[in-house]
Structure formats: structure tokens, C-alpha cells
Structure 1
């Protein structure tokens, strides 16, 4: 039996999320905790305009979740309980794929805290992929690859984007080669061609990052089109990387042999926060049914970024959600969501 992962632009039955429950995701004070809850809930409510949402919530946070999620929704937001370490559903949840009979399955990657990072815990999160699959009522496709959903991106036709600093990370898969990873991607998500980037954005490669997730760097809004994080300020360490990405993709083709149209989406003008160089990125958005849920940053580039997203996703409504509280904790809107594809 063969499997393929639909593009994120395919129809969705549901979006899965997790609710912040402990540690740095909540913060050190009740004010910080409320800011986190409000932001995660704002993404869930915006998404519910287009697609039903299920949020996995630690028991201790159930009342908070109902308080924040229950207003201003279009489709149902369902709360289910499971214990969590963190709240990045893209990474701890499964990747939904379809077999050659049109049946949905869930790939359960091995999650080990983004390469066994010293600051990470994953006693609970390592079980969430299986939990979500069971909640969705779909068979599990087990993988021994240490991997996260934010660490790769597909076009639905066999082209996969990945970074060597993630899948070949010594903390994740120390004994694997590119060919090994490509073979496992072929088996589980239907990869025909993997386009390797060396690493991710500068901040994401520092101590509290993922070691280089692709989902804040590049995305394929349609086959043959690649959206590139465009850091235009030469003061920022991502400036040279953005230039090299454009060069790389102009020389690349899809799995089908189609040259890429390279579309640059600007980085926000803000360069630094209290921790150093930012990795704020408009690439990190969720596409679901008739909508696009986009990161905004109260930044002069917000309007241009929304315009670019409207152009590459024609006919979909782009809804901005302020993502600064998410990025303060290590990610964006794509990082906290995971789509469940619709199957006929």
C-alpha cells in the first residue's frame, strides 16, 4: 500500500490544536499565562470561521480553555483532554496521509523534544500523535523517524521541503543519511523528490529553537510556486540566507520537473526583541478550506504580507492574528495547528 500527504490547500475536515498548559508556553506570571491563552484561542476562533477545530487540553487547563474558546466561533471548537508538556500541535501531533484506496491514516513520528533539547520535556507530548489519531478514528502509520510536522512541507504531488539541520540532526537521527530520510518520506508521505535546505532561520537555530524548521522559511502555496521568507535588511543575519534561498529555488524543479516561480514575502521590519534577532515570519501561516490564518506583528510589513498571501491563495479570505505572543514562546500559527484532510 502506498500513501501520500495532501497539500495544505486540500480540503480539511478539522484542524487540531493544543492549549498551553505549563512551562514557558504559559510563562512565569498569570498575566503571561492569560496572554498565551488569549493568543492560542484567537487562532482557534479565527480558524473556526472556516473549519471545525479540536483543541487538546491538559485537565488542569480545561476551565481556562472553555473560558477563552467559547466566544465568537462559526464552526464548533471541541475540547478533549490529554496531558501535555507543550502546545505545538504541528510538531507533537500526527501528519495525516491518504492511502491508494482513499482512506485516511495518521503518521506517528517519534517526537523527542526537537532533538532532545535540554530545555524541552516530552513525557506526555510523545504520545499525542497516537492520541490524536485515535480521536480522529483513523489507522496509525508508525514511523521511527524523529521528526516534527514543522520540519517538512509538501506540495501534494510528491515535492517535499526539508532541512538538513532537522532530519539529519545528531539529536534526532544520528545514524541516518539523506537517502534514508528520503526513503522514509517516500514510504510515509509519498515523497518523490526532497529539496534540502541546509538550515532554517538564525534565531530558530539558536538554543531555544527547533534547529531549523522549514515552516518559517519556505512554503509551496501551489505546485511550482514557492513562498520565500525575504529578509530585506542586510543588518539581520537572515539577509544572506534569504538571498541564497531565492537562488537555490530558481535553479530547482518540482518532483514533476516544473521550474519554481519564486515569490518573496517580506520579513517584518522589526529586527530584534528582548532576546536578540527575531525570526518573525509570514511564511508560518495556516491554510484551511476557504481561509488563510496569517501571522501579523503590528508591523509596517503586515499589509504587504497579507497582500502576497491573497495573491498566492486566490479566492481565500486572509485573516490576520497578532502572533507576537506565539513567537515570544518559540513559534507561529502554523506551528500550533495541524490539518486533518477530507477524504471522499
Structure 2
């Protein structure tokens, strides 16, 4: 048997991919790099941060203090570590980690992702754990584990014909249960964010913050285009049950004021936070609702510091803080 650790469980390190001139950040590269430096520096206060980069010497020059920072060289297409990095499960009998290398196609072939898809296998020796190639198109942002047998997903992502068109829902559930060692798949059929390239990744909408608590985005503005879909998502969340047949505790996060860039609405979301050891990195957007989101997280995440990080530049490329990071559980050790 195996299990899929939840993000709120103890971690070994966080991985991110540093922006380079050939990535989609080229138009405002230095602004993007500042945000990534802020994320890496915040992580390094609590645990190691592995930075995948195309030029180690150059990237090191952005960090005056390199404590808890580890650098490895690899040329990527882009920087969405959440979706192209390996996902870790634990063999319960041996207590050993297994890295699952799913196929990444740039969210259903929207963008060239051949280098990103090959990244995990290319840098595998650094992890100190066996890696298995899984013949399934899946992104890390598309799955949420509560660590005790439940996997939360959106049908729009997992069952989208641009991912695994040859599989039906039952077949997909069978594979997910086998690979992650979970007992139930919790499906959400509603909820989206305008400007999101991922086809409604779960980590943009709703997250487990402990084994029986779900934090989610709520829209109270009846004139907002998201109101109906997020209201229906909220109703679905209320109907979900854990393996004991009990409802989950629900905590609502506010929607931001609509944000735009070049006339396009951006997927600004407070749900795209990253839980690390003893802290939560919370994306903020210079928005009037930032303070409310911070206060909600301070109350919900007792015992963890809340670290707001300005992610206004990240949403220009249709993602946020959780999307550019991947945590690895404590069982995975980095080999230098």
C-alpha cells in the first residue's frame, strides 16, 4: 500500500524553477525574478528550497544570503513547478518515498512543454528516491490530498478530453486510486476562474488545510461572472463526505477585486497558497481584500506564520504562488 502525503504534513524541501529569458516571463523578466526570489527567500527561512535554473551562477547572484538554497541546472520551457514536478507517495510497508513522474503536456497541449515534461527524469538523481514513470497526463495542481485517503479534484481538469481522452471516469478513478493509494475521489463539477489556462485546477479554487477542513474561494458579488459557478461549487463542497461519512469543515476565502492586464481578466486567487513547515505563503495582489484573506488564514492556520507575498506579476501568466512551487515530504532527501 501507499499513501499520498498532504501538503500540511512535514516537508523536506520546496522546489521551484527560476524564470529565464526564454520563458514566458521575458517581457517583464526582472519583475518576475523579484517575485521568485521573494518566494525562495521566504521558504528558506523554514526549510531548504531547491531552485532549478538554466544558469546557476547567474541565479545565485540574485540571493545575497544563500542559506538553505540548493541550485541544480536544467533548461526548462517555463516555470510552473507545481505541474511538471514529480509527485511523492509513500510505500507504507517500507516507509520509503516513490516519485511519480506523470506526463505534462502544457495543460492539454496549449503550450510547448517538452522540456518541462522531461525535467523530473533529468534531475532525478538529486532526489535520493526511486522514480516511476506514470502513463497518465496529470498536473500537480490538479490534485489535493487530505493525507488519509481522500483526493479532491475537478472534473473539468481530470476528465478534460485534452488530457486523457481514451479514459472514462471509472477508468480514471481506478488509476488515481492505484497510483496515489487513496480510497475515494471527491469530484467537483463546478467552479472556475477567468484567465486560468489549467482548465480549473483544484489548487486555484479549493484546498485541504488539514484532514477534515477545506478552504475555498467564495464569490458574494452577484454581478461577478464567477458568482453562479462558485455558488454551485460551494454547494458541492457542502455535500462532500469523508471516509467516515462526515461532512468537511469549510472555510471561505474572499474573491479579489477583478484584476486585468492588457484587457484580460486575470485568475487572482487567495486559494493558491503554499503550506510549508511552520508557515503558509499567501499570495496577495495589492487588493482591498488582501487584509481579509490574511486575517482568515491567521485564524485557520494556528501555529503557522502567514507570509504574504505580492504575486501580482504571476497572475499575468495565469498562475500564482502554489503554481510555481512543489513541496516534497520529509521522506525525500536531496543528494548533493
TM bucket normalised to smaller: over 0.9
CA contact (8 A) 1:290 1:315 kept: yes
Structure 2 distance, partners of 1:38, 1:247, is 39
* 1:42 aligns to 2:35 (yes or no): no
Give yes or no for the alignment of 1:229 onto 2:228.
Answer: no
2:155 counterpart (152, 161, 164): 164
Structure-2 change in CA distance of 1:204 and 1:183 (3 Å): farther
**Equivalent residue for 2:291, pick from 303, 306, 320:** 303
| RMSD, aligned α-carbons | 1.7
1:180-204 CA deviation, whole Å, 9 max, x = no partner?
2211111121221111122552324
Matched, 1:180 2:171: yes
Match of 1:81 among 54, 68, 73: 73
* Offset, 1:271: 4.5
Greater Cα offset, 266-275 or 315-324: 266-275
Instruction: Tell me the CA shift for residue 179 of structure 1.
Output: 1.5
The within-5 A match list for 1:82-231 is 82-100=74-92, 101-117=94-110, 120-198=111-189, 200-205=191-196, 209-231=197-219
1:57 counterpart residue number: 53
The separation in 2 between residues aligned to 1:96 and 1:312, in whole angstroms, is 26
Q: Within the alignment, does 1:260 sit opposite 2:248 as a pair?
A: yes
Taking the aligned partners of 2:164 and 2:151, their CA distance within structure 1 comes to 18
Counterpart in 2 of 1:14?
A: 13
- Which residue in 2 is equivalent to 1:333? 321
Distance 1:278 1:327 in 2: 6
Structure 2 gaps of 5+ residues are none
1:48-85 Cα deviation digits (max 9, x unpaired): 111100000013xx3441122x2356x41111001100
The answer as to whether partners of 1:163 and 1:212 remain within 8 angstroms in 2 is: yes
Q: Where does structure 1 lack aligned partners over 5 or more consecutive residues?
A: none
- Contact preservation (8 Å) 2:192, 2:226: yes
C-alpha separation in 1, matches of 2:245 and 2:262: 44
- Per the alignment, do residues 131 and 232 of structure 1 end up closer, same or farther by CA in structure 2, a change over 3 Å counting? farther
| Superposed CA offset, 1:264-289 (max 9, x none) | 11111235443433321110010001
| In structure 2, C-alpha distance between the alignment counterparts of 1:86 and 1:339, rounded to whole Å | 18
**Contact 2:20–2:26 (CA under 8 A) maintained in structure 1:** no
Give the counterpart of 2:61 among 57, 67, 72. 67
The one-character-per-residue Cα deviations of 1:141-197 (angstroms, maximum 9, x if unpaired) are 221110000011111011111112222122210011122221111112122111112
> Structure 2: how far apart are the matches of 1:45 and 1:93?
20
Aligned partners of 1:233 and 1:273: how far apart in 2?
A: 21
Is the contact made by 2:191 and 2:230 (CA closer than 8 Å) also made in structure 1?
Answer: no
